[in-house]
Amino acid sequence: MTVVGLGAWCDYKDEHRDDGGLSFRVQEFAVLADGRRITLSHDLDGPSGFSSWTHGAGQPDPLDPWAFVTLEGLEASVRTTVLPDEDATQDEHPWEWLAQRLQANGVDASPEQLEELPYDVVFSERLRARVTARTVGDGP
């Protein structure tokens, strides 16, 4: 099996946060030459995930938390979420860890090979629809 791409999938969580913010979950994956996807990390949320909010807790009449969400902003947050936590690393991504996860799934790929592959951020259909629905018809 050959890996032809890597990526991260993102969706929003349905539960509402007390501070009026939004929470998102992220899963990293690898795409194989035959089109199959292998999930490499499950639900990177909590301390590893990301949230967004538009006001502080306890403030009256919070803004719509979706008001300023864009796909570009979400993509940047997803990429930040999947990067290593160590500030000292020079790697853009934990290539060694991804290679180990692939090997655990029976796929042989070196960190150097993975580093050369495209890395795409994919949004769930409902997240894409939620973000883009607000902008349809807003223009002149």
Largest CA distance in the chain: 55
- The rounded mean pLDDT for the chain is 79
Q: What gap in Å lies between CA 10 and CA 126, rounded to an integer?
A: 10
Every domain of the chain and the residues it spans: 3-133
pLDDT score recorded for residue 129: 93
Query: For residue 125, is pLDDT > 60?
Result: yes
**pLDDT per position as a tens digit, 13-26:** 876 666 667 888 89
Q: What gap in Å lies between CA 133 and CA 130, rounded to an integer?
A: 5
78-99: burial string, b at 16+ Cβ within 10 Å, e else: beebbeeeeeeeeeebbbebbb
**pLDDT per position as a tens digit, 60-115:** 455 677 777 889 999 998 988 887 665 555 556 788 989 999 999 999 999 999 99
| Cβ(124)–Cβ(25) below 8 Å | no
Q: Which two tokens stand for residue 46?
A: 């909590």
How would residue 9 be classed by pLDDT, with cut points 50, 70 and 90? very high
Q: What gap in Å lies between CA 37 and CA 28, rounded to an integer?
A: 10
pLDDT score recorded for residue 17: 64
How would residue 140 be classed by pLDDT, with cut points 50, 70 and 90? very low
